[in-house]
């Protein structure tokens, strides 16, 4: 029994979409999440630094 390529197009499309989703998740976990966490920590530290500076100015 001979199968035509058309019969596999749906399966191939599914595999392509699945693979794209997999690599997107790898990218998000590897690059975007650490960038987001690092930026959040930087903002928290900057706010604390500014609060400490204001408190010091009020004391003087």
SS3 60: coil
Structure confidence at residue 2 as a pLDDT band (50, 70, 90): low
Structure confidence at residue 50 as a pLDDT band (50, 70, 90): very high
DSSP code string of 13-50: HHHHHHHHHHHHHHHIIIIIHHHHHHHHHHHHHHHHHH
Alpha-carbon 57 to chain mean position: 39
Write out the two tokens for 35.
């960038």
pTM, two decimal places? 0.58
Whether the pLDDT of residue 29 is over 60: the answer is yes
Distance CA 44, CA 51 (A): 11
DSSP type of residue 5:
G
């Amino acid at each position: 029994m001979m199968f035509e390529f058309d019969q596999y197009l749906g399966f191939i499309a599914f595999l392509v979409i699945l693979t794209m989703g997999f690599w997107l998740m790898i990218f998000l976990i590897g690059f975007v999440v650490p960038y987001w966490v690092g930026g959040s920590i930087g903002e928290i530290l900057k706010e604390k630094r500014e609060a400490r500076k204001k408190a010091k100015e009020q004391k003087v």
